[in-house]
Structure 1
């Protein structure tokens, strides 16, 4: 069963700065591989390269360019000046928009190395002789890298909202300026909001990334939990009857979710949308927040089953018909690929992550153990449910 002391030990072992693409992230990979091999398993290791252009350069260029375009429309020197700026920005950004649809393929900037580590445990009876393409699979996801940024995540969240709201207001005011109102006071109001948007843009620019966060919450918690689940299900007597389990530790998640992008590309032929579910564990401290998209049918039964089993955890739920996230995660990436699943985090702990304060003492390993026991029951009960037609 789940061992809280082992979770604590693994959490302490993985909680050191491990920025994507550094030797420290490689050290984290070696630790995880060692833990898997100690169970007598041979993990799959997928090495890949990436650049930091997409998450650290491209987005900052976009914010700056949008602000400048707002200024151009506000000044309205003449139509030629506006058209020249639009053409220049289009020449720059149209190609960038195209290539950033698949950021894992971008080769702009220095290249770094990372790797995904995963292991698959087959069901006891391979889905009762069902065809390989019809197997039920669960992807248990956690990312092994960490990052630290100059600004706290709480401040960044507020600043991003300020930027978005000020942008919307400026666009609305510019429309009014062109068609209905045009006087000094109205222009001064627009200028003040443009200044606010500029300050927000500058803060985005100065928010640099470094390797100073121990990453205990984000995401030593997820790594230690998935390792503990692997320890449990590795025992033959604990294997599920009809569900294959994937235990996944992605690299470079904090750099535009690069790891899951490469892993999806490799396994998408066997990860069928109708029969593959994901559970993403990312930043769990002392409380549980649950994220999912409202769906009808079988996925709803999975979620309801979890809700029934997890009352002792007193989780908070964020269930919507549509989820848009400024901060990407492995689960969010798979959701956008039309996979169904559930994400787990702790929003109360967000004030510590991406900072030197993301330390082991912020994670309740006993709570992780309690959560792990609920997850085992969830998977076992779900396994019984889908196995009945074949009994």
Structure 2
């Protein structure tokens, strides 16, 4: 029996409860996942680690305070102390590439001394020849925030672009002022950019984490997709490809589960023949299916060319529309820590993540069984194509 979009839809509906780490819904969702694996005849494996909400609910918000202060000093300095504005602007521009890299890719997991006992849940399927390894992954925790995911990304992009603009124009304007040349239009632009940057900093400072999202699309659909794939391949396993079906925890708190997992099992998975396919909000009723090919600002980073080509070829053969996707700053997912450790990875998911993600409106109204089936069939085809290449 091939992939059933209805099966995936039904499980998404069951797991659509607020499941912020540490909550009752989170514990219940994990039990559902384990029961599903058990029903399909898998040995359930777990990986325990500690997580916390410090990064998302404290650090990222508190960091807006020094950032806001620096922007204020640059703009204020431009009008009253050009040398101060010039020096601060140069310093900020020098560290922006580092900020952009972190905001696009994240950092390694460091276990907190005190935290919430969290758990990655996974199952493995060995093949006859074990030539390569594919890991399907998706997170099962949720969160809601004051800002929706689209509002958050817009704020981060405005903050990034606005900050760079303020610095560059302040350098130009400060040099002119040092030589007693004043440009009123330039001064007005710097002031406006400073105000915009300050406003988005305050909005991001207020972006508290809550537990109001049922997480149907983000990321109940992903868990449902990989569970249904585990059923399909248990009945008809590939000859040359070992499979792992990984449900990660605490993704919404800084990709903690995926990062902890890859650090723990790095020696087990050979970087030369292990590929990761991460699901992020597949099955969206609105919008097209996307394959993430690049991400990051200011420098683009690229996902696995091999996996992307296979996904596009599979979609073409199945006559399913799929689009190449780019993620800017302010968006990260579980493929990031995996790639940071040198593995080949990509991400399949919805291009229309605006439909209530990280809000109470992330419910089943946004999910389509037909779209889930398209994602599942593409993944089946990817394995089929790859298995054929290896035979």
CA–CA separation in structure 1 for the residues paired with 2:174 and 2:83: 17
Match of 2:117 in 1: 113
Match of 1:126 in 2: 129
CA–CA separation in structure 2 for the residues paired with 1:183 and 1:219: 53
State the 1:189 CA deviation.
4.1
Q: Aligned pair 1:382/2:382, yes or no?
A: no
Structure 1 unaligned regions, length at least 5: 90-96, 128-134
**SS where residue 254 of structure 1 aligns?**
helix
State the 1:227 CA deviation.
0.5
CA–CA separation in structure 1 for the residues paired with 2:83 and 2:112: 34
In structure 2, relative to structure 1, the CA distance for the partners of 1:67 and 1:380 (3 Å cut) is: same
Match of 2:370 in 1: 366
**Where do 1:309-324 residues align within 5 Å?**
309-311=314-316, 312-318=319-325
State the 1:187 CA deviation.
4.3
Describe the superposition over 1:236-269 as per-residue Cα deviations: whole angstroms up to 9, x where unpaired.
xx11111100000000000100000111011100
CA–CA separation in structure 2 for the residues paired with 1:324 and 1:371: 23
CA–CA separation in structure 2 for the residues paired with 1:256 and 1:302: 25
Structure 2 unaligned regions, length at least 5: 93-101, 296-303
State the 1:309 CA deviation.
2.1
In structure 2, relative to structure 1, the CA distance for the partners of 1:347 and 1:42 (3 Å cut) is: same
RMSD of the TM alignment (CA)?
2.9
In structure 2, relative to structure 1, the CA distance for the partners of 1:157 and 1:326 (3 Å cut) is: closer
CA–CA separation in structure 1 for the residues paired with 2:26 and 2:182: 57
Preserved contact between residue 248 and residue 258 of structure 2 (Cα < 8 Å): yes
Match of 1:306 in 2: 311
CA–CA separation in structure 1 for the residues paired with 2:251 and 2:53: 12
State the 1:325 CA deviation.
4.2
Larger mean Cα displacement after TM superposition, 325-334 or 111-120: 325-334
Q: Aligned pair 1:220/2:227, yes or no?
A: no
**SS where residue 104 of structure 1 aligns?**
coil
In structure 2, relative to structure 1, the CA distance for the partners of 1:302 and 1:53 (3 Å cut) is: closer
TM-score of the superposition, structure 2-length normalised? 0.83
Match of 2:301 in 1: none
Residue 260 (structure 1) aligned to one of 251, 258, 264: 258
Match of 2:232 in 1: 232
Preserved contact between residue 283 and residue 345 of structure 1 (Cα < 8 Å): yes
Match of 1:172 in 2: 168
Match of 2:240 in 1: 242
Larger mean Cα displacement after TM superposition, 202-211 or 15-24: 15-24
CA–CA separation in structure 2 for the residues paired with 1:259 and 1:203: 27
Preserved contact between residue 21 and residue 250 of structure 2 (Cα < 8 Å): yes
CA–CA separation in structure 2 for the residues paired with 1:324 and 1:152: 16
State the 1:56 CA deviation.
2.5
Match of 2:27 in 1: 26
**Where do 1:257-336 residues align within 5 Å?**
257-284=255-282, 285-286=284-285, 287-293=288-294, 300-311=305-316, 312-318=319-325, 325-336=329-340
In structure 2, relative to structure 1, the CA distance for the partners of 1:65 and 1:112 (3 Å cut) is: same
